[in-house]
Amino acid sequence: MNQQGHMASYGQPQPGYQAYQQFAYDNQHMTGVPPPQYGPYNGPVQGYQQTAVPQGPLRPPPGSAPPPTSIPPSTTAQQPVYNQYGQGDVHNGPAVPDQMQRLPVSQPYMPGNTIHSGSQPMPYQQYAPPLSHAQQLPNQMARMQISGVSTNSASPSVSQGYGTPASRPPAATSLPLAGPATYSTPLQNVPSSTPQDNSLPQHPFPGQTTPASTFTSPPTSIGLTGMNLPPSLGMQRPPMMHGPPLPGQPPSGPYPNQPNHRSMGPQPGMPGVIPGGPTQGFQMHPAPGQGFVPQQNGSFGQMRAPQPNYAAPGAAAASYSSQPQPQQKRLDPDSIPSPIQVIEDDKSNRGSEPFSTGVRGQVPPLVTTDFVVKDQGNASPRYIRCATYNLPCTSDMAKQCQVPLTAVIKPLGTLPADEAHPFIVDHGETGPIRCNRCKAYMCPYMQFIEGGRRFQCAFCSCVTEVLPHYFQHLDHTGKRMDYYDRPELSLGSYEFLATVDYCKNNKFPNPPAFIFMIDVSYNALKSGLVHLLCEELKSLLDFLPREGNAEESAIRVGFVTYNKVLHFYNVKSSLAQPQMMVVSDVADMFVPLLDGFLVNVIESRAVINSLLEQIPEMFADTRETETVFGPVIQAGLEALKAAECAGKLFIFHSTLPLAEAPGKLKNRDDKKLINTDKEKVLFQPQTSFYNNLAKECVAQGCCVDLFLFPNQYVDVATLGLVTYQTGGSIYKYTYFQAQADGERFLNDLHRDVRKVIGFDAVMRVRTSTGIRATDFFGSFYMSNTTDVELAALDCDKTITVEFKHDDKLNEESGAQIQCALLYTSCSGQRRLRIHNLSLNCCTQLADLYRNCETDTLINFFVKLAYRGILSNPTKTVRESLINQSAQILACYRKNCASPSSAGQLILPECMKLLPVYLNCVLKSDVLQPGADVSTDDRAYIRQLVASMDVSETNVFFYPRLLPVHKMDIDSDDFPVAIRCSEERLSKGGIYLLENGLNLFIWVGMNTQHDLIQSIFNVQSFGQIDSGMATLPQLDNPYSKKLRSMVDAIRAQRPRFMKLLLVKQEDKMEVLFKHFLMEDKSANGGASYVDFLCHMHKEIRQLLS
Ligand SMILES: [Zn+2]
């Protein structure tokens, strides 16, 4: 059940925002802050409601338009207050261009070959304009019926219902409206786009090993001559996966080799622990004739203890024992920073204690560490993460170090059950307390002065009068007496109930609607999609998002099916049977019915079920292969407009929309463009039609979720555009077959329908003087430089923000960020979600480098790069990333590290994984595609990554690889992961690899028969069914443990991962190897070792 926070009882601790759990209202108290105290204070105090509130235009800064609350409701009732939200506020000015030529998110990319709907030929008879009353429907339907007849000859035109479910033979007699004539057309000429044979599903990454020629090809471009390393270094890999099978496996105890560097060297993100700058760098330098040798703290050298999981005597360690002797000639992978080591160190150092947010500028534990957060005045890292928690005081410092000042914000992020969800504060009619000038919302950083009668804004320093109903005395420390009782004074994250001033047209919104729009063309039917979907919807509709403990969802639903015409359904509860209305004039889309289209699920249950029963039958024999797409979105948009509500379209679509209609596309895929200056065209939409449509959708609060089921190129870059700009989600099931892919699709659909979501949202990021938000990355639309407009925003979506200096910062006061999201909840409640974060500021770069978070930095870099390819050659984007990263590391070396020879590579402790992670980004399919990565896949990934949070990008670019044979069947813990490299795999092992989208189980050929039997229920390696997608359910601890691991991993990720079993040396192994990110990749991507050398060279060049 999707239960959301509810304000029914003021002052109660509100649960809410947990996507999958049904809450009781107990045990939701916060652990850190006295729980019951919110009760008495939060409600609107009766006596104050009539108080005349001084709300006039209160000293807005020059040039800034009055934001919503400054307008008294009574005097501005006519005024569309919503439209003024954020306009003209000078606080966050226009974006400053920087090194790579960036494209504003909302900028239309189109080369101007707009398709105007008016210019489309109209092959079908036009209808009269839509009628708006129920009584008129029969007329209308009669006309539609005629239309159907006009293009065909068969269909009778009178009956308006389908046959009853009990009598639904396929014959046209019982489905008079069903096959609206179109489908009873004799099919003598099946269109040329006859569905292709898709019985042989292909995979996105079939095996090929054509190396592309890019800078990353190691030997030539990485000049390590000064280090006595042979040019072929990194290529002389030992034979892979040698070494004996593991003895006596599977082990039953915890793996003996725990990471053993907990106390060695400074730890990332622990300000105060680290003594000083210079000593903390990871260092390595070449010993004479020996390549790199560990230095200083020895953390990464050969003297270091083995990597987690790699030292088992005689086990995996054997992998190295037989390395060829020229070993000293190459950089030892064990001597370079290990992601696993860093992850494990952080787990053991920071996973045991709760992370309290009370201290400014604290670096949180890594996203891979399991930890509990206590909100003590700053937003949880689950809502906001920063690349650095210590900002340079001046823009000169920022330029010098090149570390981007960025925050990754997930405003509606889901919290674990044991953490308090944001409380809802209701100030009654007066609305939230805000600064008079910059309109920042009341938060813990506001300073109350003059005995509590006024407060000084932490963002703009303006002093604002405290309204009488909000007045409270101060204690001896200057804190308000009600400090702990009010979330907005003591917590980093909370919500305000918005007043009508925050609503469009000064009217409280209607509850949102969900419209399911189903492609019923040939491919969708043949793959089993339509049948599967309709069957599932019957039960899924019970799980629509609900507000708090509401008994039923306020969300109304509607249904449309389409191929090259659209079919609307009247599912009004009073009908005995659903009614279909066909609109074949797709050039000028309208909604043929209003009453009965969007309905309450419970009331119309019987009619809806009947419809869902009939849809697959009605279209079972269709031969229609052509589809429209633009008109489908238009239809949904028009329906929401007519119902005066926001909402979401769930579009299930299978083909390139080739039918004559607005938004019609052509197949323009051209792989020859790869690695040319024109490659960017592949990521741009092929028509501006969808840009314009997206803009309209955003204005209405119409979010579009797109489920794609393509058998060939469908132009994801264009089809996905509206989804992208409306904050929607895109899913792609290539070569979908209900049998094989149904589980993944249905899981995704369930989660998508049920997840916490806010509609018709606007996000604004305010900052204290000295910095401002200059750039935004994610799935949204921006019509000005400050307001992120979101038709909808769900709990999985993040927005990455970049900040720039516009003045000096002050070490003492630090820097404050406030993110405010105005949105409509699933019940139609207008709310503001506020997140606050305060950061430190420094005059010494060493402080900055000590408080960085590489995972967040990478999240920013990848979003920057993936947007950059829209307007730059991919090669330029890659080089730009390398260059900026090299500057970051060179600046550290120059300013923070102790003097050392140029041959040493010195990395800041907090950034020692920057090279390896950066390399993963550079060799990703989007930036460096192999020959077999489709253009659609690249566009798809590009779109997915745009809204990923830090933990998602972390695992997506550097997958988690778990040795299954080392799992402890008595523990809930996962085995410690290993590094993503082929030479880390043991022939005698079984491994699980996941990256948030893909899930593999790899089986080594020498795996013990007992283990094979326990997991796969066959006797030997040879009998394992390669390509298997589900594990047999066996009643033994190994089978159970592995399956529970798979379940747990799936539950952690926003998308369901289909399992793919890969056997060693099987032809499918190449799919798996694609994800071994430390190795040289088939598409020409450098190995980690090679790339590190390359980075070293770049850094040395910058320093010399
Ligand atoms: Zn202010």
CA of residue 60 to ligand 1 center, whole Å: 10
CA of 94 to the centre of ligand 1 (A): 19
Copy the structure tokens of residue 481: 């007496």
Residue 766 Cα to ligand 1 middle (Å): 9
Helix and strand element counts for the chain (H, E): 26, 33
Report the separation in Å between the CA atom of 856 and the middle of ligand 1, taken as the mean of its atom positions: 28
- Confidence grade of residue 223 (pLDDT, cut at 50, 70, 90): very low
Per-residue confidence (pLDDT) for residue 848, from 0 to 100? 97
pLDDT beyond 80 at 172:
no
pLDDT at 1027: 77
Å from CA of 312 to ligand 1 middle: 59
Least confident of 236-250, 334-348, 479-493, 673-687: 236-250
Rounded to the nearest angstrom, the distance between the alpha carbon of 98 and the centre of ligand 1 is 28
Cα separation, 278 vs 349, in Å, equals 22
SS3 of 720-785: HHHHHHCCCCEEECCCCCHHHHHHHHHHHHHHHHHCCEEEEEEEEEEECCCEEEEEEECCCECCCC
User: Which neighbouring-strand residues pair with 283?
Assistant: 906
Ligand 1 center from residue 945 Cα (angstroms): 34
Instruction: Report d(CA 1001, CA 1066) in Å as an integer.
Output: 13
The upper half-sphere exposure of residue 733, i.e. CA atoms within 13 Å in the direction of its Cβ, equals 30
Q: How many A from CA of 834 to the centre of ligand 1? A: 15
Q: How far apart (Å, rounded) are the C-alpha atoms in residues 66 and 56?
A: 10
Ligand 1 center to residue 66 CA distance, Å?
Answer: 13
Cα angle: 254, vertex 257, 261; to 5 degrees: 130
Beta bridge partners of 1062: 1002
- Predicted pLDDT at 144: 32
| Res 161 pLDDT > 50 | no
pLDDT at 103: 43
- Measured CA to CA, the distance from residue 633 to residue 700 in angstroms comes to 12
Distance (Å) from CA 449 to ligand 1 centroid: 15
Instruction: For residue 907, give the H/E element and its range.
Output: strand 905-907
Beta-carbon-side half-sphere exposure of residue 166 (alpha carbons within 13 Å): 0
Ligand 1 centroid to Cα of residue 439, in Å, is 6
- Residue 388 DSSP one-character state: B
Read off the amino acid at residue 861. F
C-alpha 787 to ligand 1 mean position (Å): 17
Cα 490 to middle of ligand 1, angstroms: 18
- Tokens for 517, please give them: 């729009």
Two tokens at 1022?
A: 């040879």
The amino acid that residue 393 corresponds to is: C
Phi-psi region of 781 (alpha: psi -120 to 50; beta: other; left: phi over 0): beta
Report how far ligand 1's centroid is from the alpha carbon of 491 (Å).
18
Average pLDDT over residues 687-708: 97
CA–CA distance, 421 with 15 (Å, rounded to integer): 5
What's 278's DSSP letter? G
Token output for 576 = 């005995």
Q: Of the candidates 1080, 1074, 1083, which has an alpha carbon nearest to the alpha carbon of residue 1094?
A: 1080
Integer Cα distance of 476 and 517 in angstroms: 62
Measured in Å, residue 811 CA sits from the centre of ligand 1 at 20
Ligand 1 center–CA 847 separation, angstroms: 28
What per-residue confidence (pLDDT) applies to 930? 84
Ligand 1 centre distance from Cα of residue 57 (Å): 15
Mean pLDDT, residues 43-65 taken together: 33
Tens digit of pLDDT for each residue in 416-428?
999 989 999 999 9
Phi, psi for 518 (deg, rounded to 5): -110, 120
Residue bearing the bigger pLDDT, 1008 or 115: 1008
DSSP string, 370-387: ---EE-SSS--TTTEEES
Which residue, among 956, 852, 951, has the nearest Cα to 410 in the 3D structure? 951
**pLDDT on residue 332:** 85
Mean pLDDT is lowest, of 193-197, 570-574, 965-969, 1003-1007, for 193-197
pLDDT score of 912: 96
Local structure of residue 468 (DSSP, 8 states): G
Give me ligand 1 centre to Cα 115, in Å. 46
**pLDDT at site 20:** 30
Distance between Cα 435 and ligand 1 center (Å):
5
Q: Are 696 and 721 in contact, with CB atoms under 8 Å apart?
A: no
Cα 434 to averaged position of ligand 1 atoms, centre (Å)? 8
Q: pLDDT tens, 767-787?
A: 999 999 999 999 999 999 999
Q: What is the mean pLDDT of residues 1075-1102?
A: 94
CA dihedral 768, 774, 779, 784 (to 10 degrees): 100
Rounded Cα gap, residues 395 and 49, in angstroms: 46
Whether residue 716 contacts residue 936, with contact meaning beta carbons closer than 8 Å, is answered with yes
Q: Determine the distance separating the centroid of ligand 1 and the alpha carbon of 91, expressed in angstroms.
A: 10
pLDDT tens readout for residues 951-963: 999 999 999 999 9
For 881, other C-beta atoms within 10 Å of its C-beta total 21
How far does residue 587's CA lie from ligand 1's centre (Å)?
Answer: 49
The pLDDT of residue 549? 84
- CA of 64 relative to ligand 1 center, distance in Å: 13
788 C-alpha to center of ligand 1: Å? Answer: 20
Distances (CA, A) of 85 to 80, 171, 216, 784: 10, 56, 47, 11
Give the distance (Å) from ligand 1 centre to CA of residue 759: 27
HSE of 611 in the Cβ direction (CA atoms, 13 Å)? 30
Check residue 1087 and report its DSSP letter.
P
Task: Give CA–CA dist 907/1075, Å, rounded.
Answer: 25
- Cα 90 to ligand 1 centre (Å): 12
* pLDDT for the residue numbered 904: 87
Give distance in angstroms: CA of 461 to centre of ligand 1. 6
Q: Which two tokens stand for residue 130?
A: 């839509």
Report the separation in Å between the CA atom of 769 and the middle of ligand 1, taken as the mean of its atom positions: 10
In DSSP notation, 171-219 reads STTT-TTTSTTGGGS--SS--TTPPPP--S---SS-S------STT-HH
Residue 226 reports pLDDT greater than 70: no
- Which residues pair with residue 907 across a beta bridge? 282
Quote the pLDDT of residue 115. Answer: 36
Question: How far is ligand 1, taken at its centre, from the CA of residue 357, in Å?
Answer: 23
d(CA 112, CA 116): 11
Cα of 381 vs centre of ligand 1, distance in Å, is 24
> In Å, what is the CA distance from 830 to each residue of 503, 726, 762, 833, 851?
7, 19, 11, 10, 37
Amino acid symbol at 16: G
What is the distance in A from the centroid of ligand 1 to the CA of 89? 12
Cα 77 to middle of ligand 1, angstroms: 26
Whole-number Å distance, alpha carbon 820 to ligand 1 midpoint, is: 14
User: What are the pLDDT digits (tens) for 371-400?
Assistant: 999 999 999 999 999 999 999 999 999 999
Check residues 351 and 224 and name the one with the higher pLDDT. Answer: 351
CA of 816 to the centre of ligand 1 (A): 11
Q: How far apart are CA 585 and CA 565, in angstroms?
A: 7
Per DSSP (E only), the strands in 372-436 are 373-374, 384-386, 390-392, 405-409, 424-425
Q: What is the mean pLDDT of residues 684-712?
A: 97
pLDDT digits (tens, 9 = 90+) for 204-214: 333 333 333 33
Instruction: Report, as an integer, the average pLDDT of 450-465.
Output: 97
Ligand 1 center to 125 CA (angstroms): 59
Ligand 1 center to 457 CA (angstroms): 5
What are 289's two structure tokens?
């004739």
Q: How far is the CA of 437 from the centre of ligand 1 (A)?
A: 5
Distance 441 CA to ligand 1 centre (A): 8
Q: What are phi and psi of 608, to 5 degrees?
A: -65, -45
According to the model, what pLDDT value does residue 678 have?
93
Alpha carbon of 471 to ligand 1 centroid (Å): 18
Note whether 430 and 501 are within 8 A (CB).
Answer: no
Q: What is the predicted pLDDT for the residue at 134?
A: 31
CB atoms near residue 115 (< 10 Å): 18
Residue 898 has pLDDT above 50, yes or no: yes
**Ligand 1 centroid to 438 CA: how many Å?**
4
What lies within 8 Å, CB to CB, of 398 at 6+ separation is 391, 392, 405, 804, 805
Is the predicted pLDDT of residue 190 greater than 90, yes or no? no
CA of 413 to the centre of ligand 1 (A): 26
Ligand 1 mean position to 369 CA, how many Å? 36
User: How confident is the model over 580-602, as pLDDT tens digits?
Assistant: 999 999 998 999 998 999 999 99
Q: How far apart are CA 662 and CA 118, in angstroms?
A: 8
Tokens of 823: 């949105």
Over residues 269-287, the pLDDT tens digits come to 333 333 333 333 344 443 3
Q: How far is the CA of 377 from the centre of ligand 1 (A)?
A: 18
Centre of ligand 1 from the C-alpha of residue 442, in Å: 10
Distance 376 CA to ligand 1 centre (A): 22
- Distance from CA of residue 435 to its chain's centroid? 32
Task: Provide the 8-state DSSP code for 296.
Answer: T
Distance of alpha carbon 242 from alpha carbon 247, whole angstroms? 14
Report d(CA 1075, CA 924) in Å as an integer: 10
Average pLDDT of the segment spanning 30-49: 33
Residue type, 342: V
Angle ∠(88,90,95) on CA atoms, nearest 5 = 100
CA of 96 to the centre of ligand 1 (A): 23
Could you tell me which of 185, 363, 335 has the C-alpha nearest to residue 854? 363
CA distance 124 to 539: 36
Q: How far is the CA of 455 from the centre of ligand 1 (A)?
A: 10
**What are the tokens at 78?**
């006519």
d(CA 65, ligand 1 centre) in Å = 14
Q: Which of 994, 1020, 991 shows the shortest CA–CA distance to 1003?
A: 991
Compute the distance between CA of residue 399 and CA of residue 389 in angstroms, rounded to an integer: 17
Q: Secondary structure of 1071-1083 in the HEC alphabet?
A: HHHCCCCCCCCCC
Q: 660 CA to middle of ligand 1, Å?
A: 53
Tokens standing for 633? Answer: 């979105």
Quote the pLDDT of residue 177: 32
User: Positive or negative, the Cα torsion across 986, 987, 990, 991?
Assistant: positive
* Mean per-residue pLDDT over the chain, rounded: 77
Distance from Cα 501 to the centre of ligand 1, integer Å = 19
Residue ranges near ligand 1 (ion) with Cβ within 5 Å: 435, 437-438, 440, 457, 459-460, 462
What is the per-residue pLDDT for 845? 96
Rounded to two decimals, what is the model's pTM?
Answer: 0.75
Q: How many angstroms does the Cα of residue 405 sit away from the middle of ligand 1?
A: 22
Q: Which range, of 248-252, 1053-1057, 1079-1083, 1085-1089, averages the lowest pLDDT?
A: 248-252
What does the block give as tokens for 544?
């629509």
Q: Which two tokens stand for residue 747?
A: 């899981």
Cα of 726 from ligand 1 centre, angstroms: 30
| Phi, psi angles (nearest 5°) of residue 684 | -90, 150
